[in-house]
Structure 1
Amino acid sequence: MSQEMWTYIFVAGTFAIYIGIAIWARAASTDDFYVAGHDVHPVVNGMATAADWMSAASFLSMAGLIAFMGYGGSVYLMGWTGGYVLLALLLAPFLREFGKFTVPDFVGDRYYSTTARMIAVICALFVSFTYIAGQMKGVGVAFSGFLGVEFNTGIYVGMGIVFVYAVLGGMKGITYTQVAQYCVLIFAYTVPAIFISLIITGNPIPQLGFISDVKGEDVSMLAKLNQVVTDLGFKEYTSTDKSMFDMFAITGALMFGTAGLPHVIIRFFTVSSAGAARVSAGWALVFIALLYTTAPAVAGFARLNFIDTVNESTYVESLDNYDTEAAAIVAAGGKPIPKWFKDWEKTGLLAVEDKNGDGRIQYRAGADNEVTKLDRDIFVLANPSIANLPGWVIGLVVAGGLAAALSTAAGLLMVISSSISHDLCRRTLFKDMDDKTELRVARFAAAGAVVAAGFMGIYSAKLAFVAQVVAFAFGLAAASLFPVIFLGIFWKRMNREGAIASMLTGLVPTFLYIWHFKIGAGKAAGAADWFLGVSPEGIGFVFMFVSLAVGIAVSLATKAPPQDIQDLVEDIRVPGTRRSHGIADSGMAPVADHR
């Protein structure tokens, strides 16, 4: 059976499962739509959380970035892993005890202010739309590679699929769909890694193959990769040109941004209690570790195989006549450019130019590099083809990449939907709205968000790789949402004035800094022009401390929160003293708005 047929079987089969689950678990109430009825088993929720967490940035982009950035790309691995631990241990149980299933809802009640709630809605939308732009770019990469179409067309197809199961099923449908997507994506990620590890090192465990000797050679895989890249003029794979402070800032932004991500926090409200949320967080960490410990090996293998198959290869002009042209090149003693390269070239994500006219492709550092476009987000999907693995493995990886991108996109759509329908409409503008109307508004909001996210994904492809776009979202969350959540839980003196000042201080300068250096006048600037030498990916970590300081200073300079709010903060740190079920408080009276 051909590779194309295997790909269609895996993709069509998995999509049928996702849509079937969405229909089976169709949300019938706002409770189902927002928090899946609070009755998801902790292990099941842990798996769904892992799928929600391991987005296109984790599945598609992280290994690609590490492959070409080497040690410098490890900030994404360290930051996201550490960030999840921080969220699971430091914040999630207390937020679950508080009982509010959206971040703006927590901010509005904790800081007894409609204004604070509205600013939190704005922050959540900024973060979510930035994050989902990266996911939709991943969807476009996966679909364009699968269907052999242009990148933008791939995004349009992905928009249609997300629309069906996110708008129809809500959080209930998304939760069980994400369980299926986790099974697909983790199998798709590890199986080719095992194959390639066996081919290169003879070790079936990728994590060990990464540090093992190359098969038949008395040299480790990493040492050989270092030698190969330095011979081509690149930096050693195990080194980086990033400053230590910038690496620290990016890692910090990713870590603390995780603790402020609305689409991850909302997952802890689909279980029945704060205790179940802790168990769920532990299981999610186990499921996440399976992929994250494999990623460095996938990255190293991809870089080595890419250089081996592309460098000094002879360009084949026609994909339709590929076999004939390739056979003639081999007969003449040459090495034809691999077919996988020609396949991806159609998508516009790869390009070459024979600058010296010798008919061969030189992959080098500097101006004479003839690989003129190389989108690193394609490498996890292309890896099985580069390694010449069986067609069914290639089809499986395509299905896994789509599962990763779509699972997180759906979770983010729920945040956007709930922010508009619940926090903005029902809790602020139309307080007499009934459940049926709110559910209808939520679905319309999700549908509109799908369309907006698709077009943002098309635009974001011009700016950066998926993981870098996602890193901007983490920076925004670290600077704007993490300080008010953290201080709101652990410091009862934090008041509404401090919260408002803190969120604005974090959001505005972080967004403007990213805009300036990625879109605006400073787009061509280098590290010398960055504030304190910190890149746009890491600046959220710097402004997070400014935001914390401003929040504390303003709170101390203004009136203390009402006593009932201070008592509430004390209560949520003692498990069992405050029991609620997300949408409606069951054990305490509603918190008053002390405007």
Structure 2
Amino acid sequence: MDLQTTTYLFVGASFALYIGIAIWARAGSTSEFYAAGGNVHPLANGMATAADWMSAASFISMAGLISNMGYGGGLFLMGWTGGYVLLAMLLAPYLRKFGKFTVPQFIGDRFYSKTASTVAVACLLTASLTYIIGQMTGVGVAFSRFLGVTNEMGIYIGMAIVFAYAVFGGMKGITYTQVAQYCVLIAAYLVPAIFISLHLTGNPIPQLGLGSNLVGQDVSLLSKLDQVVTELGFGKYTTSVPANSTLNMFVYTMSLMIGTAGLPHVIMRFFTVPTVKDARTSAGWALIFIALLYTTAPAVAAMAKMNLIGTVNAGALTNADAFAPESALVYEDRPAWMKRWETTGLLKFEDKNGDGRIQYYNDKSKDEAFNAKAEAAGWKGSELNVNADIIVLANPEIALLPDWVIALVAAGGLAAALSTAAGLLMAISSAVSHDLIKNVFNPGISDKNELLSGKISMAVAIVIAGYLGLNPPGFAAGTVALAFGIAASSLFPAIMMGIFSKKMNKEGAIAGMLAGLFITLFYVFAHKGLFFIKGTDFVDMIGGPNSFFGITPEAFGAIGALVNFAVAFAVDKVTAPPPDHIQHMVESVRVPRGSTVVTGAH
């Protein structure tokens, strides 16, 4: 059986499983549609939370980013895992104690204002729609490579699959589908990692293999990788900080951390368990399930880097002369995996010096001695461009693993993208149908009609998500990080103040959310050149790219959060305090004992 047929079988079987689960677990009430009936077992919810949280960015992109950036890529590991711990410890139990379906509903009731709820919906939609661009793009990449269809057709197929199990199943169908998707994606991540670790280091545990010696050599994998990358003009893999600045790395990490804690589609998962204790338990299970992938990612990144360099520049890997012409791979002799990925446009070769060989090195190195050697060897610039998004998906092919492993990775990548897309669509649907239609525009709507409006909202959201995936806006670069920044600057401070500051009033919360959202979007759009005044790019008026202490737009969410807090507390000081019953409600929410729902009533 050839690779294409094997891939069709694995992906097709996984899709049949998802749709079968959705038919079995279809939602019959608003409670099942929004919160899976509130009776999901903590273990199952932990698994579903892990799948919901680990998006295409985690499965497909993170190891690739670490592989390209080395030590500096650790900011994604620290930010996302730290943010989940923050969510599990500081937010999840208290929100479950409140007993509502959605984040905007919590904000609306806590700040006794439909306006606050509506602003929260706007923030949620902005973050979720931005985030979903990355998921649909990931779906298109995986489909185009593994199923031999166009990127556009891949997105259409992904939309159809999500529609089949999300619209009819609601949160109930999504929950149990995500349990299956977690099993698929974690197997797809661990199996090739174990194979490759065993091959390179003799250790079947990738986390330990990362620090082990290479097979037949008295040198560790990381030490060898440091030697190899520096020989090709890159910074040391284990110590290099991103080019922007250490400050930007810190702020970027903080933005990802508090953005993770403010993501509405993840927070919603904790409304699906019966009690506050179950919310804590499911958070613990989710952390274990997440750790399986996140502790493996650095090993996958390093081993993929080693295998890639070994493929295109054997001289650097074998201690031969990396600059010798015969060290570089002849383009016409490139392996089959390179040919397959070239068709996607995510791997590109340009023969700059006309020698027919692939020179892969850092042509922007500041090391004059290295540049002199490269020039003497006749190198005219790095000729291989490898998109970070292909590292995980291509890793089994680079390592020449069996076809069934490659097919499993394809199914895993699609599972990661689809699971998070479904969670985001659920958050968008509930915000529109429950927080806008029911709570603002039509409070008397029946459960049946609310359920119908939820399904219609979900269908419309899928169409919009597909459109954005097919036609990403001009600022779509780094959309996942940008989505975290939007959540960090708008929703996270409001949730934190809603739980831990009984004196915070509605005026402060509303002003803070708007200020945080506005300043973050302003900074992002300005840096993307989307504002123009008198024919001059507006970015010039704030000092050029990264003018605010070298902070990149994707990292600015943490600064936006500080603005949110500052504006909220400033407005709170000059306006009336919240009513006494709201303050009593906040006190009761902060003591998460039992599962009694607090209502804020006198």
TM-score of the aligned structures, taking structure 2 as reference length: 0.90
Closer, same or farther in 2 for the Cα pair 1:130/1:464, shift >3 Å?
Answer: closer
Partner of 1:338: 335
CA–CA distance in 1 between the matches of 2:335 and 2:84? 39
Contact 2:276–2:594, Cα closer than 8 Å, also in 1: no
CA distance in 2, matches of 1:65, 1:123: 28
* Secondary structure in structure 2 of the residue aligned to 1:351: strand
Alignment map for 1:525-544 (pairs within 5 Å): 529-544=546-561
Q: 1:528: how far off?
A: 6.2
Say which is worse superposed, 371-380 or 87-96, in terms of deviation.
371-380
- The alpha-carbon distance between structure 1 residues 345 and 21, as it changes in their structure 2 partners (threshold 3 A), is same
Aligned residues: 566
Which of 426, 432, 437 lines up with 2:444 in the alignment? 432
In structure 2, what residue type is equivalent to 1:360? R
- 1:306 to partner: Cα distance: 1.3
Aligned residue among 487, 491, 494 for 2:497: 487
Deviations 1:541-572 (A, max 9, x none): 01211111111111121100011111110111
Aligned to 1:220: 220
Mapped contact 1:27–1:169 kept (Cα < 8 A)? yes
- CA gap of 1:50–1:296, structure 2 versus 1, over 3 A, is same
> Which residue, 277, 280, 287 being the options, matches 1:278?
280
Cα distance, 1:390 vs structure 2 = 0.5
User: What is the 5 A alignment of 1:233-312?
Assistant: 233-238=233-238, 239-240=240-241, 241-311=243-313
In the TM superposition, what is the alpha-carbon distance from 1:461 to its structure 2 partner? 9.0
The match for 2:67 is: 67
Indicate conservation of the 8 Å contact 1:49/1:284, yes or no. yes
Q: Does 1:550 align with 2:567?
A: yes
| Letter aligned with residue 547 of structure 2 | W
- The 5 A counterparts of 1:505-516 are 505-516=515-526
Aligned-partner SS, 2:333: coil
Any residues of structure 2 matched to 1:140-539 within 5 Å, and which? 140-238=140-238, 239-240=240-241, 241-311=243-313, 336-366=333-363, 368-371=380-383, 373-460=385-472, 468-518=478-528, 520=530, 521=537, 529-539=546-556
CA distance in 2, matches of 1:214, 1:476: 43
Kept in 2: contact 1:197–1:206 (CA 8 A): yes
Distance in 2 (alpha carbons) for counterparts of 1:523 and 1:2: 52
**One of 592, 595, 598 as aligned partner of 1:575:** 592
Is contact 2:527–2:545 with CA below 8 Å preserved after alignment? Answer: no
What is the CA distance between 1:5 and its match in structure 2?
Answer: 2.1
Q: Using a 3 Å threshold, how does the CA distance of structure 1 residues 544 and 535 change in structure 2: closer, same or farther?
A: same
Equivalents in 1 of 2:543, 2:363: separation in Å? 17
Provide closer, same or farther for how the CA distance between residues 534 and 560 of structure 1 changes in structure 2, counting only shifts above 3 A: same
Aligned partners of 1:334, 1:444: CA distance in 2, in Å?
A: 51
Tell me, in whole angstroms, the C-alpha distance in 1 between the residues paired with 2:595 and 2:267.
18
Name the aligned partner's letter for residue 346 of structure 2: L
Q: Which amino acid aligns with 2:565?
A: L
Deviations 1:124-154 (A, max 9, x none): 0001111111111111111111112332332
For 1:501 and 1:575, locate their aligned partners in 2 and report how far apart those are by CA, in whole Å.
28
Distance 1:100 1:510 in 2: 28
- The Cα of 1:372 is off from its aligned counterpart by 5.4
The Cα offsets for residues 479-517 of structure 1, whole Å up to 9 and x where unpaired, read as: 111111101111110000000110011101101212222
Q: How far is the alpha carbon of 1:335 from its aligned partner? A: 7.5
- Tell me the equivalent position of 1:103: 103
Q: Distance in 1 between matches of 2:397 and 2:120?
A: 45
Structure-2 residue corresponding to 1:318: none
Work out whether residues 527 and 546 of structure 2, in 8 Å CA contact, stay in contact via their aligned partners in 1.
no
Change (3 A) 1:72 1:519: farther
- Contact 1:463 1:518 (8 Å CA) reproduced: yes
Alignment deviations for residues 332-360 of structure 1 (CA, whole Å, 9 cap, x no partner) = 99971111111111112222111222111
More divergent stretch after superposition (210-219 vs 523-532): 523-532
Q: CA RMSD in A?
A: 2.2
Structure 1, 542-551 or 265-274: larger mean CA deviation: 542-551
CA–CA separation in structure 2 for the residues paired with 1:148 and 1:37: 40
SS of the residue corresponding to residue 173 of structure 2 reads helix
Give distance in 1, aligned partners of 2:459 and 2:161: 11
* Residues 567 and 390 of structure 1: CA distance in aligned 2, closer, same or farther (over 3 Å): same
Is the contact between residue 120 and residue 513 of structure 2 (CA under 8 Å) also seen in structure 1?
yes
Amino acid in the other structure paired with 1:358 = D
Q: Deviations over 1:16-54 (max 9, x none)?
A: 000000111111111111100011000110010011011
For structure 2, list consecutive stretches of 5 or more residues without a partner in the other structure.
316-325, 365-379, 531-536
Question: What secondary structure is seen at the aligned counterpart in 2 of 1:360?
Answer: coil
Task: Name the SS of the counterpart of 2:363 in structure 1.
Answer: coil
> Which segments of 5 or more consecutive residues in structure 1 lack a partner in the other structure?
314-328, 581-586
Name whichever of 342-351 and 191-200 sits farther off.
Answer: 342-351
Structure 1 vs Structure 2: percent identity of aligned residues?
Answer: 60
SS at match of 1:531: coil
Summarize the Cα distance change of 1:304–1:369 in structure 2 as closer, same or farther, 3 Å threshold.
farther
- Whichever residue aligns with residue 182 of structure 2, its letter is Y
Residue aligning to 1:122? 122
CA distance in 2, matches of 1:559, 1:165: 47
Q: 1:462 Cα deviation (Å)? A: 7.2
Larger deviation: 493-502 or 365-374? Answer: 365-374
Q: Distance in 1 between matches of 2:123 and 2:32?
A: 25
> What code does the residue aligned with 1:545 have?
L
CA contact (8 A) 2:133 2:468 kept: yes
Map Cα deviations across residues 448-480 of structure 1 (whole Å, 9 max, x no partner).
Answer: 111211222234497666xx3211111111111
Q: Who is 1:25 aligned against? A: 25
CA distance in 2, matches of 1:59, 1:203: 22
Change (3 A) 1:207 1:510: same
- Classify 1:343/1:76 alpha carbon distance in 2 versus 1 (closer, same or farther; 3 Å): same
Q: What SS does the aligned partner of 2:412 have?
A: helix
Deviates more, 1:425-434 or 1:507-516: 507-516
For 1:443, give the aligned amino acid. Answer: K
SS of the residue 2:553 aligns to: coil
* Cα drift, residue 416 of structure 1: 0.3
Contact 1:571 1:577 in 2 (8 A): no
